[in-house]
Structure 1
């Protein structure tokens, strides 16, 4: 029997690539979008879901289960970027980022776990970020929200293991998607103490995304995880140096690593 997969944020970017790949492999795939009626070219059905709205989360999960009778794999992919000097980033934007990147995935997991426990099986894959392994300048909020999701996954994985449910993280590096267009940018303020360093860092971040890898790499990685009967806790997918930066953080003294990052971002 084909596994039933639900992907949040399945209308574009990494989520769309994962969904199309799994659909091609014969999985029963449902994606989500805040406005699925605006998406005309999806090869798999989309249901309405806003990860900031608890009612829409529970309604979408109930709809998929009512149609398919089960739910085997949930991919928490919906997320949003945010950049800016922490001092100049509006608190409302910080809260919105955590609502999308952290509290939303928690609400999705709470909604699907009763079904998975009843089945005595299930897999939840949380899409985090290599940025969640380190505090990056002018991406402090994004790093924090993705890092928090990594730790929640570690803890929850132990809580639900006895029910036959697996949970894992997949941390992507930079991929060529439209994430930069949907990212909240704190404005570069003329005369601000951060004007020049933040402006330069923002250009560098956008260049990294534009020259990023093919999101199909993420699709293939997720497919391999689904086929694995005993998935690992953490996976990293991206360019060698992006993944190696995590290793360096473990082995280098804190101030040496900090200096390396500051040199990289020309700070």
Structure 2
């Protein structure tokens, strides 16, 4: 019996690559999008779901269970980027980012746990970010929302172990996707004290995404995790130096690590 997989944000970028790859490997895949009508030629069904609207989550989870009879793997991939000086980002945009990157995945998890408990099996994979391991300049809100998802996963997986349900994090580095075009950019204001450093950092971040790794690498990593009997708590996928930066944060004095980051971003 092929495993049934639900991927939020499955219409483009990493989510689409994962969906295509798992479909190729024989999984029964359902992706989601806020605008499913745009993706009628996808290799797997794209269902309507907005992680910021709880009723769409429960409706779609129920549809998948009705169609497939079970739900084995849920990949919380839907997320949005955000950049800007924290002082200048409107509070509404900060809240919107946490709604999508943090509260959205939690609500998806809550919706699928009853079915997985009934099955006495299941795997939930939360797609976070290497940026969630450190406070990055002009990406502080994004770092915080992804870091919060990393931490709550650590607690959540202990709470659901008794039901034979597994949970893990996968933190990607920079991948060549359309995330830069979809993220909220605080404008580079002419009279802003952050104009120079923020403008330079923004260009550097966009370059990293444009020259990022192939999302197929994430798809292969997730496929391997699904086939792992007891997944680890954390996985990191990306360039060696991006993954190594997490190791450096653990072993270096805080101010030394901060200086490395500031030098990298030319601040």
Q: Classify the TM-score, shorter chain.
A: over 0.9
CA–CA separation in structure 2 for the residues paired with 1:41 and 1:227: 28
For each residue in 1:10-66, what CA deviation from the matched residue of structure 2 results, as whole angstroms up to 9, or x when unmatched?
000000000000000000000000010011331000110000000000000000001
Q: 1:63 is matched with which residue?
A: 63
> May I ask how many residue pairs the two structures share in their alignment?
267
Instruction: Give the 4+ runs in structure 1 shifted more than 2 A.
Output: none
**Aligned-residue CA RMSD (Å):** 0.4
**Residue segments in structure 2 that go unaligned for 5+ positions in a row:** none
Residue 209, structure 1, aligned to residue 219, structure 2? no
Q: 2:91 is matched with which residue?
A: 91
Q: 1:136 is matched with which residue?
A: 136
Q: 1:124 is matched with which residue?
A: 124
CA–CA separation in structure 1 for the residues paired with 2:221 and 2:237: 7
For each residue in 1:193-230, what CA deviation from the matched residue of structure 2 results, as whole angstroms up to 9, or x when unmatched?
00000000000000000000000000000000000000
CA–CA separation in structure 2 for the residues paired with 1:41 and 1:213: 25
Residue 47, structure 1, aligned to residue 47, structure 2? yes
Shift of 1:78: 0.1
What TM-score do you get using the length of structure 2 for normalisation? 1.00
**1:202-241 paired onto structure 2 within 5 Å:** 202-241=202-241
Q: 2:115 is matched with which residue?
A: 115
**Residue segments in structure 1 that go unaligned for 5+ positions in a row:** none
Q: 1:9 is matched with which residue?
A: 9
CA–CA separation in structure 2 for the residues paired with 1:46 and 1:115: 21
Residue 77, structure 1, aligned to residue 111, structure 2? no
CA–CA separation in structure 2 for the residues paired with 1:113 and 1:77: 17
CA–CA separation in structure 2 for the residues paired with 1:9 and 1:164: 26
CA–CA separation in structure 2 for the residues paired with 1:184 and 1:124: 27
